[in-house]
Amino acid sequence: MARLSLRCAAATIVFTALVVPLPVKAQAGVDAGSSTPLELTYFGAAGWKITDGNVTVLIDPWPSRLKYGGGGHPDDDRPDYARTDIAVSDTTLIDSLISEADFILVHHGHFDHLGDVPYIARKTGAKVIGTETTVMILRAYGIPNDQLYAVGGGEDYQFDGFSVRVVPGIHSALNEKHYHDTRRYDRNTVLEAPLRIEQFIEGGSLSFLARFDRHDILTMGSMNFIEREFVGIEPDILLAGINGSRLGLYEYDRRLLETTGFPPVVIPTHWDNFRLPYGFSQQANIERNILPFIETVGELSPGTRVITPVHLEPFTIR
């Protein structure tokens, strides 16, 4: 196991990237001995790479982590973008991290979820599954239709070696619960790429139940969910949105764990300051978001293991 540490002047918090054993799903035709572990890599924000050795899935990949809209760091000397600006992906960084992908799942159309997807989809040829808004943005960037799957929630698609159930979702309650955006792009919308950051609208929100050989992963792209849509899913791995906006919702942590059947493994997602480049300390967000969540999970679901992901450090779940 690898010991990973995040340091600041006040304290050092050490986390361990584990190989986590879990019971194999009761699934006909699965030979546990011949299956490779599931490997997960956290890109920050809601971004992930997940592979079982046969299928590689990217979720909201946004390695560029551009500095826009405030919330940066004085030591970050990269360009500072306004929402009215056109921002360019850091293709050199993306190329160093992503060489291939079979699928890209996009929770919603905001820039920190979709901004790098046009380049990655073109580079890899991956199938992209997202809302019609997401698909219209990608079409504007020239991604061919045969790569694009527009969904609204409720679809359950079988692919070769992988299946995905699309779960209707809801965005985080931002701006002290005043956020609500009903804008959508549809087949009649005319968009000309490159788009300004502000043109990457939410366009509706989704979650995904991503089914691999041995594991079912329920993904979240924000700190909110529609409770009735999660009932009965019961994944063995939950990517749980745990940034601060969840605290404005009624008993969010309890309802999330109960509704999803107290998953054996919960992995926080979208907890970091995603406007900081890799290598900058995330200690403040660890203390603000992750540590209280771990304590709460320990009280509500002692049998659940919480894995704290470290940017770009792969870990495996058996």
Give the range of the structural domain holding residue 179, as residue numbers without chain letter.
Answer: 37-227+309-317
Residue 163 located in a structural domain: yes
Query: Among residues 309, 305, 310, which one has the least CA distance to residue 20?
Result: 305
DSSP letters along 272-296, please? S-TTSPTTS--HHHIIIIIHHHHHH
Residue among 261, 262, 242, 237 at smallest CA distance from 252: 242
| pLDDT over 90 (residue 7) | no
- pLDDT tens for each residue of 149-160: 999 999 999 999
Please determine, for residue 36, whether its predicted confidence score (pLDDT) is greater than 60. yes
Model pLDDT for residues 253-307, shown as the tens digit of each residue: 999 999 999 999 999 999 999 999 999 999 999 999 999 999 999 999 999 999 9
CB 56 within 8 A of CB 125: no
For the segment 49-96, what is each residue's pLDDT rounded down to a tens digit?
999 999 999 999 999 999 998 878 989 999 999 999 999 999 999 999
Is pLDDT of 194 > 90?
Answer: yes
Domain with residue 190: its CATH number is 3.60.15.10
19-23, 35-39, 237-241, 268-272: range with lowest mean pLDDT: 19-23
**Domain assignment present for 258:** no
Is there a domain that residue 247 lies in?
Answer: no
- Asked if residue 303 belongs to a domain, the reply is no
pLDDT recorded at residue 32: 38
pLDDT tier at 35 (50, 70, 90 boundaries)? low
Instruction: Look up residue 241 and give its amino acid.
Output: G
Predicted structure pTM score: 0.90
Is the pLDDT confidence value at 1 over 50?
no
Does residue 72 sit within a domain? yes
For residue 136, give every residue at least 6 positions away whose Cβ sits within 8 Å of its Cβ, in sequence order, or none: 185, 186, 187, 189, 191
Range in 7-11, 13-17, 105-109, 253-257 the model is least confident about: 7-11
Domain count, the chain: 1
